């Protein structure tokens, strides 16, 4: 039963990622935003108000523990958005993404992170195929993004592992950890947005707010980003960073294997 559910999750995530990439390919090159962290925070608060999710208020102590993964994942989000805006799916960035699983597995082993599913077999991909048209900056930001996202996953898993060792009364739940991470991430992304060469007011003024198509693309990219990030976040907190990395790179891995079919 569990293997079937895992396979179903990977298929759903891959299809969602494919749809998100399509929407991002249309939307991001023109408008260069948005981020789904704030929407995720609002949605979790809404679920809490409806009594669906038990959620504590933001903890400064927990937020400090999650500051590093929040910064890493925020910068990764900016770099991945830059990749989608400039080189679509033909650059180095989508080619190194499948290596995330292998890199996460190695780092988890080196840090002796308890990971019940971290013995998964990972595939090493020859990612030099087709990189002749790669922008020079991609040789910098693609490996950097890989490292930052890996550190974010490992750190989140480590915080979750430490929290599980606390007494049940003082233990932060998975949703508490994820919520604190999102609040931190929202602040970091807001700061990065303010530091961007295109100031927020310029970006917002370029939006076609009178167009229903614009609102449709905006809602799609926000909701898909929120759901996909939620899947990865909950996976790393409940299972292992290796499984989360494998889930995040499910679509690129699927494309790689389809080349041999």
Query: Is the pLDDT score of 113 beyond 70?
Result: no
With beta carbons less than 8 A apart as the criterion, state whether 160 and 237 touch.
yes
Domain boundaries, the chain: 15-258
Radius of gyration of the chain (CA): 18
pLDDT, tens only, 177-199: 999 999 998 888 888 777 766 66
* Phi, then psi, of 139 in degrees rounded to 5: -65, -20
Question: What's the 3-state SS for 136-176?
Answer: CCHHHHHHHHHHHHHHHHHHHHHHHHHHHCCCCCCCCCHHH
Tokens of 149: 């996202």
pLDDT, tens only, 48-81: 888 888 888 888 888 888 898 888 888 888 777 7
183/128 Cα distance (integer angstroms): 37
């Amino acid at each position: 039963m569990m293997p079937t559910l895992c396979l179903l999750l990977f298929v759903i995530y891959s299809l969602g990622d494919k749809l998100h990439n399509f929407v991002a390919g249309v939307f991001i090159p023109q408008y260069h935003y948005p981020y789904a962290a704030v929407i995720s925070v609002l949605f979790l608060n809404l679920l809490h108000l409806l009594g669906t999710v038990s959620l504590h208020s933001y903890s400064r102590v927990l937020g400090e523990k999650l500051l590093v993964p929040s910064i890493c994942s925020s910068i990764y989000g900016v770099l991945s958005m830059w990749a989608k805006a400039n080189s679509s799916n033909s650059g180095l960035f989508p080619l190194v993404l499948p290596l995330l699983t292998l890199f996460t597995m190695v780092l988890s082993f080196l840090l002796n992170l308890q990971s019940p599913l971290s013995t998964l077999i990972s595939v090493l991909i020859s990612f030099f195929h087709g990189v002749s048209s790669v922008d020079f900056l991609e040789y910098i930001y693609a490996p950097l993004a890989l490292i930052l996202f890996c550190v974010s996953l490992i750190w989140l898993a480590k915080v979750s592992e430490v929290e599980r060792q606390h007494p049940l009364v003082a233990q932060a739940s998975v949703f508490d950890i994820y919520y604190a991470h999102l609040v931190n991430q929202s602040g970091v992304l807001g700061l990065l947005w303010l530091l961007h060469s295109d100031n927020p007011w310029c970006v917002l003024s370029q939006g076609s707010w009178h167009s229903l198509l614009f609102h449709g693309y905006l809602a799609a990219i926000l909701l898909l980003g929120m759901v996909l990030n939620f899947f990865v976040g909950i996976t790393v907190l409940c299972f292992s960073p290796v499984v989360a990395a494998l889930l995040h790179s499910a679509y690129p891995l699927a494309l790689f294997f389809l080349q041999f079919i």
